[in-house]
Amino acid sequence: MNLSIHRLMRAPCLLGALWLAGCTTYVQTQVTAFSDWTGSDSTRTYAFARQDEQQNSIEQRTYETLVASELAKYAFKQAPEAGARYQVALAYSVRGDLVTVRQPVYYDPWPMYGYYGRPFWGPWGGFGPYGPWGPTGYVDQSYPVYIHALQIRMTDRSTGREVYKVTAVNSTDDASLYRAMPYLARSALAGFPLGNGTVRTVTLPVDKNGGIGNETAASVDTNPNGAAPAPKTVE
């Protein structure tokens, strides 16, 4: 796994708080793209380029299959390296971190009374569960998060010129890069090709089994300089 992309991961760390709070309906991924893309549908043949440590890696082949499935949506076809127009290289990583959440501490000067501690009037009394006094202080609680990243780099095989590079980063409370990779791959290639310098957040639905739902991706926080339209928003 290529660790050089770790410096790109700091900003999305707080996304893990959504997972820690149990909000697993959607997965948010930050996507950054750089593009000099001029290809056409008729030239979209490619072969995967591998580092030495990736040559015989089952993990590498697994992730290539996911990326190939996404590339096929944009008329890309795999070909033998000698006949491919582009080389596609993958770099990926996961690292652990901590997110600290400041939470309020409440004090209710009205003691509970009645049967089993039931308040005198209504389920919480007249002022809500903590009374009208607000928090009396705050406590910091830290939780583990895991920051996952995927970078896809396309180069013209004949010249070595980089034509497209996109990095996708998300963070969850799950250490598994394998389970995060489908979201990373789909988010990275959503709306291909993005304009040069595009930065946006792609939101993908999670189905009841923990996989990606069938709904269309929703993209938010799009850089207005991005040339490509955002995917359809999930209703």
Identify whether 232 is part of a domain.
no
Phi-psi region of 194 (alpha: psi -120 to 50; beta: other; left: phi over 0): beta
User: Dmax over Cα atoms in the chain, in whole Å?
Assistant: 82
Tokens representing 140 are 């910091």
How much is the pTM?
A: 0.71
* Nearest alpha-carbon partner for 222 in 53, 56, 31: 31
Report the percentage of the chain scoring pLDDT > 70: 67
Lowest mean pLDDT among 46-55, 132-141, 208-217: 208-217
- Do residues 151 and 23 touch, judged by C-beta distance below 8 A? no
- Do residues 169 and 30 touch, judged by C-beta distance below 8 A? yes
Identify whether 187 is part of a domain.
yes
What CA–CA distance (Å, rounded) separates 189 from 191? Answer: 6
Lowest mean pLDDT among 4-8, 147-151, 183-187: 4-8
Identify whether 124 is part of a domain.
yes
What CA–CA distance (Å, rounded) separates 139 from 159? Answer: 57
Question: What is the enclosing helix (H) or strand (E) of 155?
Answer: strand 135-156
Tokens representing 152 are 């896809």
Identify whether 225 is part of a domain.
no
Q: Phi, psi (5° rounding) for residue 181?
A: -60, -40
Identify whether 235 is part of a domain.
no
Look up the CATH number of the domain holding residue 105: 3.30.160.670
CA 139 to chain centre: 29
Which residues on adjacent β-strands are paired with residue 104? 138
pLDDT tens digits, one per residue of 151-187 = 999 999 999 999 999 999 999 889 999 999 999 999 9
Identify whether 189 is part of a domain.
yes
Burial pattern 207-219, b for ≥16 Cβ within 10 A else e, equals eeeeebbebebbb
- Structural domain of residue 185, as residue ranges? 3-220
* The pLDDT of residue 218: 56
> Number of structural domains, the chain?
1
Identify whether 181 is part of a domain.
yes
Identify whether 229 is part of a domain.
no
Residues, the chain = 235
- Do residues 59 and 212 touch, judged by C-beta distance below 8 A? no
Give the number of other Cβ atoms within 10 Å of residue 163's Cβ.
18
Give the list of residues 6+ apart from residue 105 with CB closer than 8 angstroms, or none.
Answer: 135, 136, 137, 138, 139
